[in-house]
């Protein structure tokens, strides 16, 4: 029991650190995808690539320790290797469209909720409703679609092994970096020059400047990406990669149970890692609770230190509808893909799963469609 | 012209600033007031594309004023 308590305390610390990092670096997966199409900026997507590179090295080491011989039809425990197929594409399209419509993905809405963005609270409510709809209809999706979809894990494919899978993943990350740079050059986007502050001379000034850089001024996105990648590795070392929709699914299920509409026992989920809501993980202070709800105080702490907390109410009532509708679509998408931009993408690519790449492509497609829509909403 | 986009989140402040710069075509400066920190990264890169320069000032907690000045009038 003492060991369990220690793990839980560590996961709480990591949840807080993740929330703090998201808030400080204003890390936004929705912007990363959307800004590619909105104004040809790859700044945030490059930060995500850096985070993926950091996490991939760590995940490979953890998975190799658990399953030394890849290719024996055995997946490492907890790895986010998810089914690859129509559910991945449909889930990614819905999620990508929803996050652009609402202005933030699930993790983005979580840390913005803690910064006082009221619209993000509405988005999260939409996400929980969407996840509830999938929970009620899961067995239909499973039998007609997901049950036949393979869980493709790179080290077990074509005799790649860990070294081959790492090489393939890094080649793909490098190629993505080159494509993003070409995309930026083509669109002519200009990075803003860094604003130079007053020179720091004395010890006191230097300390004040360091404090300011960490706790007041926002971090560069690339720093946020690298730190989040590191947090992911430590989370997996302790127990599991990062995911947030599993916990929100549990909330949806608990609410429906209270209302007398308990969702049916889901088929197939016991063999799937990631953000599948597992029965044994119930309880308010479970592992997924700590790394999901922990984001809130972590982000609030960051916002308070930087004096960035403020209750912000959208003045345009249409924004509430966008948040709820976008949240609902994200819930449906994350339910089908068994994870959001964190669980099915940011934790999946480092798990050396094909599903992470396919989900990312579908997110890009959904974001492209979302951009066409928000351009028409004043 | 003054553009008060407090309460709005990405990408609306940036889209509205771009719309204003496109409409004014450098005839007037655009003063954007926002309480959304990510705008500090999204609005400035747009300025040179429409012939504007930018200056960012923190005018509250959390509130920033991004002044977009027609490049010709800057100096």
- Asked if A35's CB is within 8 angstroms of B7's CB, the reply is no
Minimal Cβ distance to B7: which of A38, A39, A312:
A312
Task: Categorize the per-residue pLDDT at A51 as very low, low, confident or very high, splitting at 50, 70 and 90.
Answer: very high
Check pLDDT > 80 for residue A195: no
The neighbour count for residue B66, using CB atoms within 10 Å, is: 23
Q: Which of A5-9, A25-29, A285-289, B59-63 has the highest mean pLDDT?
A: A25-29
Residue of A nearest to B15 (CA): A375
Q: What is the pLDDT of residues A90-111, one digit of tens each?
A: 999 999 999 999 999 999 999 9
- Asked if B54's CB is within 8 angstroms of A192's CB, the reply is yes
Whether residue B15 lies within 8 A of chain A, CB to CB, comes out as yes
What does pTM read for this prediction? 0.93
What is the CA A180 to chain-centroid distance, rounded? 20
**Is pLDDT larger for residue A170 or for residue A210?**
A170
- Asked if A316's CB is within 8 angstroms of B38's CB, the reply is no
Residue of A nearest to B4 (CA): A315
Burial of A1 per CB tally in 10 Å (0-12, 13-18, 19+) = exposed
Rounded distance between C-alpha atoms, residue A349 and residue A56, angstroms: 7
SS3 letters for A127-153?
HHHHHHHHHHHHHHHHHHCHHHCCECE
Q: Which of A19, A107, A13, A11 is nearest to A301 (CA)?
A: A19
The residue of A25, A31, A33 whose CB has the most chain B CBs within 10 angstroms, and thus the best one to mutate to test that interface, is A31
Minimal Cβ distance to A310: which of B8, B42, B62:
B62
Phi/psi at A303 (5° precision):
-70, -40
Q: What was the pLDDT predicted at A277?
A: 58
B73 in Cβ contact with B48 (< 8 Å): no
What is the CA A306 to chain-centroid distance, rounded? 24
Percent of chain A at pLDDT > 70 equals 94
Size of interface A-B (CB pairs under 8 A): 73
Q: Which of A370, A369, A344, A374 is nearest to A359 (CA)?
A: A344
- Asked if B9's CB is within 8 angstroms of A119's CB, the reply is yes
Task: Categorize the per-residue pLDDT at A193 as very low, low, confident or very high, splitting at 50, 70 and 90.
Answer: low
Check pLDDT > 90 for residue A288: no
- Asked if A306's CB is within 8 angstroms of B62's CB, the reply is yes
Q: What is the pLDDT of residues A132-164, one digit of tens each?
A: 999 999 999 999 999 999 999 999 998 899 999
Whether residue B72 lies within 8 A of chain A, CB to CB, comes out as no
A141 in Cβ contact with A85 (< 8 Å): no
Q: What was the pLDDT predicted at A1?
A: 47
Q: What is the pLDDT of residues A305-320, one digit of tens each?
A: 999 999 999 999 999 9
> What residues contact residue A126 under an 8 Å CB cut-off, 6+ apart?
A102, A323, A324, A325, A326, A327, A328, A329, A330, A331
Task: Categorize the per-residue pLDDT at B75 as very low, low, confident or very high, splitting at 50, 70 and 90.
Answer: very low
Give me the interface pTM, i.e. the ipTM: 0.89
């Amino acid at each position: 029991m003492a060991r369990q308590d220690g793990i839980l305390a560590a996961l709480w610390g990591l949840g807080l650190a993740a929330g703090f990092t998201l808030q400080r670096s204003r890390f936004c997966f929705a912007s990363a995808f959307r800004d590619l199409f909105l104004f040809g900026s790859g700044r945030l997507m490059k930060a995500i690539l850096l985070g993926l590179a950091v996490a991939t090295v760590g995940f490979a080491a953890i998975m190799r320790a658990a399953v030394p011989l890849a290719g024996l039809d055995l997946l490492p425990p907890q790895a986010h290797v998810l089914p690859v197929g129509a559910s991945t594409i449909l889930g990614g399209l819905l999620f990508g469209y929803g996050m652009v419509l609402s202005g933030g993905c699930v993790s983005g809405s979580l840390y913005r909720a803690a910064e006082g963005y009221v619209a993000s609270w509405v988005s999260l409510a939409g996400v929980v409703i969407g996840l509830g709809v999938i929970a009620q209809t899961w067995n239909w999706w499973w039998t007609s679609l997901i049950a036949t979809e393979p869980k493709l894990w790179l080290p077990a494919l074509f005799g790649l092994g860990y070294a081959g899978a790492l090489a393939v993943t890094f080649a793909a990350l490098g190629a993505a970096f080159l494509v993003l740079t070409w995309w930026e050059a083509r669109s002519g986007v200009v990075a803003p020059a860094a604003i130079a502050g007053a020179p720091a001379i004395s010890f006191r000034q230097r300390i004040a400047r360091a404090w300011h850089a960490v706790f007041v001024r926002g971090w560069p996105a690339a720093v946020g990406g690298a730190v989040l990648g590191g947090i992911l590795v430590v989370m997996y070392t302790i127990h599991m990669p990062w995911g947030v929709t599993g916990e929100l699914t549990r909330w949806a299920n608990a609410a429906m149970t209270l209302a007398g509409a308990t969702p049916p026992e889901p088929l197939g989920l016991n063999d799937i890692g990631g953000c599948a809501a597992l029965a044994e993980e119930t309880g308010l202070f479970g592992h997924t609770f700590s790394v999901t709800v922990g984001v809130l105080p972590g982000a609030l702490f960051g916002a308070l230190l930087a004096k960035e907390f403020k209750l912000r109410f959208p003045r345009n009532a249409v924004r509430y509808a966008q948040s709820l509708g976008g949240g609902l679509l994200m819930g449906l998408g994350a339910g089908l893909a068994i994870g959001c931009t964190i669980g099915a993408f940011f934790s999946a690519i480092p798990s050396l799963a094909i599903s992470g790449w396919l989900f990312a492509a579908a997110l890009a497609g959904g974001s492209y469609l979302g951009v066409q829509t928000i351009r028409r909403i004043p | 012209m003054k553009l008060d986009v407090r309460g709005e989140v990405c990408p609306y402040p940036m889209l509205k600033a771009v719309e204003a710069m496109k409409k004014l075509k450098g005839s007037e400066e655009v003063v954007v007031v926002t309480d959304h920190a990510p705008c500090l990264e999204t609005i400035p890169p747009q300025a040179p594309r429409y012939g504007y320069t930018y200056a960012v000032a923190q005018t509250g907690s959390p509130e920033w004023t991004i002044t977009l000045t027609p490049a010709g009038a800057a100096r």
